[in-house]
Amino acid sequence: MPLVTIQPEGVRVQASYGSNLLTVLKEAGVNIESVCGGRGVCKKCVVEVFSSGLTEPTSMEAEVRSMSKSFRLACQARIIGDVVIKVPQSSRQTRGKILEWGRVKDFGFYPATRSVNVKIYAPSLTDQRSDAERLLQALNAKSIDGLLLKKLPGKLRELKWDLEAILHDGEILDVRPRRDQDFYGVAVDVGTTTVVAYLISLKTGRIVSVKSDYNGQIAYGDDVISRITYAVKGGKNLEELQGKVVATINKLIQDAADEAKCSPFDVYELSFAGNTVMTSLLYGAEVSAIASAPYVPPFRSSLRFKAREIGLRVNDSAIGYTFPLISGYVGGDVVADILVSGMHEQDEKSLLIDLGTNGEVVLKAGDLMLASSTAAGPAVEGAGLSNGMRGMNGAIESVSINVENFDVYYKTIGDADPRGICGSGVVDAIAWMLIAGVLDQKGRIADINTPRIVNIDGDKAFVLAVNREGRRICITQTDIRRFQLAKAAIFTACLLLLRIGGVSLSEISKVYIAGAFGNYIDPRSAMIVGMIPELPLSKIVQIGNGSGQGAAMSLLSRKVKEEAEILARKVRAIDLNTINGFQSEFIDATQFPHKKTDMFPRVMKAIAMKAPLLD
Amino acid sequence: MPLVTIQPEGVRVQASYGSNLLTVLKEAGVNIESVCGGRGVCKKCVVEVFSSGLTEPTSMEAEVRSMSKSFRLACQARIIGDVVIKVPQSSRQTRGKILEWGRVKDFGFYPATRSVNVKIYAPSLTDQRSDAERLLQALNAKSIDGLLLKKLPGKLRELKWDLEAILHDGEILDVRPRRDQDFYGVAVDVGTTTVVAYLISLKTGRIVSVKSDYNGQIAYGDDVISRITYAVKGGKNLEELQGKVVATINKLIQDAADEAKCSPFDVYELSFAGNTVMTSLLYGAEVSAIASAPYVPPFRSSLRFKAREIGLRVNDSAIGYTFPLISGYVGGDVVADILVSGMHEQDEKSLLIDLGTNGEVVLKAGDLMLASSTAAGPAVEGAGLSNGMRGMNGAIESVSINVENFDVYYKTIGDADPRGICGSGVVDAIAWMLIAGVLDQKGRIADINTPRIVNIDGDKAFVLAVNREGRRICITQTDIRRFQLAKAAIFTACLLLLRIGGVSLSEISKVYIAGAFGNYIDPRSAMIVGMIPELPLSKIVQIGNGSGQGAAMSLLSRKVKEEAEILARKVRAIDLNTINGFQSEFIDATQFPHKKTDMFPRVMKAIAMKAPLLD
């Protein structure tokens, strides 16, 4: 049987003669992308081939091979001999297990919340120290949580002075039986649109469950401004908004605990990373001054508080921690992104783009670190569009279009019947609509004679799919307009930060893509629509949900918290609205990919060729 | 007009010829005792005379003059020329304003809670620091209370950045208009029977109002053991007990604030001194382990917490502090007593006796400090007796009896119609019943033919007064029995501590009398009944409510808190129940004044002479 060597892993597998390369790769555990079901249409399963041993290229591979003769589409190749191939990062589904992210290792496993087994001397008439002293001295700890202190006499005697103590820094949070039972932290990415909670074992450092849902505040408006507007109306509005996000988090923690077969009561620490408004509302702080110049937040340093104080349903003594904020409009999520990317420690010039309802951009150039925020709106997260939905089962997450006949190939999460389209699907769909000529540079849906272009209540729309119930999943002209504003906001932020930093795009060595769906988006599609600057794919690093990962890292190492504090004070926040020319740059950026097409030569070529962008 | 010189004050007043000396002294502002209304019967208004200028002594003065020729009863003397007299401490009503107590001065006015006026730079586009940073940096403070932090943006802007901040140590508790408005602390003596609250201006250090009431827990039992028994029954009992004492304190604070025309919201710090069980229940901590050997309390160090956490209705950000405890049965009230007495700083050997439901005794001899607690019961506070009542309007607080005809002279608080008898009145009444021969050494009410001895439901009783409604205020035989147990407990504690310390009574230079009614009790009466050891009156120092005063001092100087912590660890607690011979000593001490009468030679002489004890 032929031997297939897969790089860069170095994995070797035996394959039966004539078997399909894509199938073999998938069976070998390689997370290779494929949307069109192996028809050669989506051009996602590109591999690099270093030997013979494959059948001849098919006609579907012409575009790919025009980039490099060593490129093949795995779905089109059959194995007829030993072969060495490389699966480039751009062809991989990177929605990986977050804990495998290497940065955690750099900090070491040094959690602030830890457990200690201890056997305490029982009291006697010659040792009448109080229960509190006894425990503090045995653990060399500084303090005891107030609620635990109240129950300490009963607990210590029930445990017969032989116990496992849970400590956070010098504070004793709990005492419980020595049973090698696990205990947990929860890292939360508090997004304007989406909240993601990671349940993490603080004993092993492993993520045991991840849950996400829309932020319950979404009923009060799509963006941070509408939330602030509601909060400042007075009455109990602020408490209401706080209650909504806390309820969302409580639900996620309960779901995650159910999945991991543990109890929210076993959660002893929570770390929250979110933008400034989300962080303030989570804590219940007034946000009135953030909205207007000089955009002053209530606080910027990290907060440390008892989770019970804000109504979180976890262990009674659990500690809450919020990431430090950079400014009124650049928050702790960006600090977390930077930490996860490691860009601040590199000499090279780099950009970081957090794709979310609040799009954030960071430029690092020498000692300079500039950050900016832009109100992209929830369109990039699949919310606020006609058939938008969160990245959950049945969401179209990946799309390609046959440029000849406008057939749409798509992949849904869980391979379920399509119910809607999520962020990465939207970007893919619009990119392919451009490639296929369904959309023009100004974002108008073309008048093409195809049953896929329909009219819905006077709104032109392109049909991506029809589900089993007969419901059409479309991208409408209105959706396109919303998306144009969103992507223009993000691109303009990149452009202006580069200009302020005096850095040209060609000097940029790395672009880190972050965000709740930053791992799922196809960066080629993001370039085609002009959401991010055109750069070689090799310079793009998708770090996934940096906010959630940063929060997770802070649970696993107290050094992360120290570094976050330093970083938050080091980054300079730039208010884009005060920058000359912002408005006209923004308008230019609403075009696909941009009014100044010379910034996107390869994208323009791909559109002209009706071919996807390849590296 | 004759000139009257009053020592040791050195005050000189002019008096009209023939005027009554007692009247002149009262008009001059001397708090001289007088119960019988100037009839010469109660022998309380003894003065020392150093010159002529008074009328000749009357027959009522014979007993007094048998002690010293220079003694006179002020009520019997009229002024006929210039005269120099001294009013001894034993003749003074010492229920003074507590803040005049000199010990506060030793520590200096250095409260942990203080106010600072500050004008903060308003934010601008070139200074986008957060509100929290702005305030912290302007005040050089470390942290901001969480509830204040939430409201900070609105408050700072309303105050236009010009404000008075209230700080506790490094924490900012409040910001408010610069109006030279006062702010307050509350010192609380948390007694088993009685709770006393002192509202204190932390701006000036003055006590502005004092309120007291029975501890709402009294419905659950008279002593600490019955409270523990109720608490450990489970369910919500512990919370219920906590709620009762917190409700009592809230009521006292509201009343005190009403009187001082301020708001409980202006209270920013509270200091609590109480025995170990009262302190634990106040905080809501389990008390199960205190009741049985080895008598271990949940905690001994002082606690610092947010007053809101235990339901106190004061400023949202106010700090609560509890005095450190010595052991399971010797609490923070004793630490406060010692601090107020200053005994720990003196070279001389001394005793401290805290008269209360829990009677506590401290012996200081060289480096040794021993403390013990004894369950005296509420009788010494006037509770639990047939006509017992708290020291409030209408309570008989002072008594004397005409040994010839058993007429009773009494004084009520507020000079109101008598409603009952309070602690100091009980001690006086029983002492005089002994002097007058109404009671024998074993505590039996004698069979004397006087309408004052009556039978109430088969219980013999001595009628002290009949009020306007015709109700009789009596001391019953049952009351006497209860009182005997209480006074025997206290005396035995003194005796055994002296024995353990190897100190004889004659070596004792000072006996400090403390307790909620420690200022009001007549130490001569306390000796006659054998509650405290017989000693020259000059060795008795009444420090009043040491627990409340100590709490007050801790509000006024943070050094007091530091010293309390050191002291609490220095004092050795002695469990009297483990001492050989305790039981037989206790039984001997139930007699009046004691079975071993040789310990009370002067008392025995006074009883034999049917005369009060004079120094």
- Give pLDDT tens digits for A506-559: 999 999 999 866 567 888 999 999 999 999 988 998 888 899 989 999 999 999
Tell me if B286 and A124 make a contact (CB, 8 A cut-off). Answer: no
Cβ neighbors of A235 (< 8 A, separation 6 or more) are: none
- Dump strand ranges (E) for A301-357: 303-306, 319-322, 350-354
Using CA coordinates, name the residue in chain A closest to B282. A150
Distance from CA of B499 to the nearest CA of A (A): 20
Chain B, residues 312-341, CB within 8 A of chain A, namely 325, 327-328
A305 vs B144: CA distance, rounded Å: 12
C-alpha distances (whole Å) from A577 to each of A352, A465, B82 are 20, 39, 92
> Of B433, B452, B532, which Cα lies nearest the Cα of B492?
B532
Name which of A149, A153, A289 is nearest B288 (Cβ-Cβ): A153
Token pair, residue A322, equals 């919020």
Which chain B residues contact residue A125 at CB under 8 A? 293-294, 575, 578
pTM: 0.83
Token pair, residue A237, equals 């509005």
C-alpha distances (whole Å) from A247 to each of A215, A254, A307, B268 are 9, 10, 13, 33
Q: Is B305 on the interface with A (CB under 8 A)?
A: yes
B287 vs A356: CA distance, rounded Å: 53
Tell me if A286 and B151 make a contact (CB, 8 A cut-off). Answer: yes
Q: Is the pLDDT of residue A102 over 50?
A: no
The whole-number pLDDT of residue A35 equals: 74
Q: Is the pLDDT of residue A12 over 90?
A: no
Using CA coordinates, name the residue in chain A closest to B289. A153
Which pLDDT band holds residue B43 (cuts at 50, 70, 90)? confident
Which pLDDT band holds residue B516 (cuts at 50, 70, 90)? low
Choose between A265 and A86: higher pLDDT.
A265
Q: Is B304 on the interface with A (CB under 8 A)?
A: no
Give CATH 3.10.20.30 domain extents, chain B. 3-91
Using CA coordinates, name the residue in chain A closest to B134. A299
Give CATH 3.30.420.480 domain extents, chain A. 184-322
Per-residue pLDDT tens over the stretch B233-246? 988 999 999 999 99
Name which of A128, A289, A575 is nearest B327 (Cβ-Cβ): A128
Q: Is B277 on the interface with A (CB under 8 A)?
A: no
Range in A105-119, A273-287, B294-308 with the lowest mean pLDDT: A105-119
Q: Is the pLDDT of residue B99 over 60?
A: no
Q: Assign domain A3-91 one CATH number from 3.40.50.300, 3.40.50.970, 3.10.20.30, 3.40.50.720.
A: 3.10.20.30
Name which of B132, B309, B327 is nearest A299 (Cβ-Cβ): B132
Which pLDDT band holds residue B155 (cuts at 50, 70, 90)? very high
Q: Is the pLDDT of residue A169 over 80?
A: yes
Q: What's the rounded mean pLDDT across residues A398-409?
A: 91
Q: Is B285 on the interface with A (CB under 8 A)?
A: yes
Calculate ∠ Cα A359-A360-A366, nearest 5°: 155
The whole-number pLDDT of residue B104 equals: 56
CATH architecture of B188-322: 2-Layer Sandwich (3.30)
Q: What's the rounded mean pLDDT across residues A103-128?
A: 85
With contact defined as beta carbons under 8 Å apart, do B147 and A286 qualify?
no
Which SS3 state, helix, strand or coil, does residue A218 take?
A: helix
The whole-number pLDDT of residue A343 equals: 94
A299 vs B200: CA distance, rounded Å: 33
The HSE-up count of residue A594 (CA atoms within 13 Å, CB side) is 27
Q: Is the pLDDT of residue A120 over 90?
A: yes
Q: What's the rounded mean pLDDT across residues B417-441?
A: 93
Q: Is the pLDDT of residue A10 over 60?
A: yes
Cβ neighbors of B266 (< 8 A, separation 6 or more) are: B181, B182, B183, B184, B257, B315
Q: Is the pLDDT of residue B95 over 60?
A: no
Which chain B residues contact residue A242 at CB under 8 A? none
Chain A, residues 186-215, CB within 8 A of chain B, namely none
What percent of chain B clears pLDDT 70, i.e. is strictly above it?
Answer: 97
- Chain A and chain B share a number of CB contacts under 8 A equal to 133
Q: What's the rounded mean pLDDT across residues B6-18?
A: 82
Using CA coordinates, name the residue in chain B closest to A578. B125
Name which of B154, B283, B301 is nearest A150 (Cβ-Cβ): B283
Per-residue pLDDT tens over the stretch A311-344? 999 999 999 999 999 999 999 999 999 999 999 9
The residue of A246, A299, A304, A571 whose CB has the most chain B CBs within 10 angstroms, and thus the best one to mutate to test that interface, is: A299
Using CA coordinates, name the residue in chain B closest to A147. B285
Tell me if A288 and B124 make a contact (CB, 8 A cut-off). Answer: no
B68 vs B267: CA distance, rounded Å: 52
Which chain B residues contact residue A133 at CB under 8 A? 299-301
Which chain A residues contact residue B578 at CB under 8 A? 125
Per CATH, which fold does A342-378+483-609 belong to? Nucleotidyltransferase; domain 5 (3.30.420)
Q: What's the rounded mean pLDDT across residues B164-170?
A: 96
With contact defined as beta carbons under 8 Å apart, do A545 and A98 qualify?
yes
The whole-number pLDDT of residue A615 equals: 64
Which pLDDT band holds residue B102 (cuts at 50, 70, 90)? very low
With contact defined as beta carbons under 8 Å apart, do A341 and A546 qualify?
yes
A428 vs A436: CA distance, rounded Å: 12
Which chain B residues contact residue A304 at CB under 8 A? none
Cβ neighbors of B62 (< 8 A, separation 6 or more) are: none
Class for the domain spanning A113-176: alpha beta
Which residue carries 């639990």 as its tokens? B384
Peptide bond into B294 cis (omega under 30): yes
C-alpha distances (whole Å) from A381 to each of A237, A388, B335, B424, B490 are 26, 8, 63, 78, 76
Q: Mean pLDDT for chain A?
A: 90
Tell me if B128 and A294 make a contact (CB, 8 A cut-off). Answer: yes
Could you tell me if the ipTM is greater than 0.95? no
Q: What's the rounded mean pLDDT across residues A139-149?
A: 96
C-alpha distances (whole Å) from B100 to each of B89, B96, B206, B497, B554 are 16, 7, 9, 31, 15
Tell me if B150 and A284 make a contact (CB, 8 A cut-off). Answer: yes
The residue of A121, A125, A128, A160 whose CB has the most chain B CBs within 10 angstroms, and thus the best one to mutate to test that interface, is: A128
Token pair, residue A437, equals 């000529």
Q: Is the pLDDT of residue B520 over 80?
A: no
Q: Is B300 on the interface with A (CB under 8 A)?
A: yes
Token pair, residue A185, equals 């932290």
C-alpha distances (whole Å) from A58 to each of A22, A32, B300 are 14, 20, 83
Choose between A573 and A95: higher pLDDT.
A573
Using CA coordinates, name the residue in chain A closest to B295. A128
Give CATH 3.10.20.880 domain extents, chain B. 113-176
Which chain A residues contact residue B286 at CB under 8 A? 150-154
> Of A586, A607, A463, which Cα lies nearest the Cα of A524?
A607
Q: Is the pLDDT of residue B83 over 60?
A: yes
Tell me if A129 and B284 make a contact (CB, 8 A cut-off). Answer: no
Q: What's the rounded mean pLDDT across residues B169-179?
A: 95
> Of A277, A86, A104, which Cα lies nearest the Cα of A198?
A104
Q: Is B151 on the interface with A (CB under 8 A)?
A: yes
A227 vs B332: CA distance, rounded Å: 50
Distance from CA of A430 to the nearest CA of B (A): 39
Choose between B146 and B515: higher pLDDT.
B146
Superfamily for domain range A184-322: Domain of unknown function (DUF4445) (3.30.420.480)
Tell me if A125 and B294 make a contact (CB, 8 A cut-off). Answer: yes
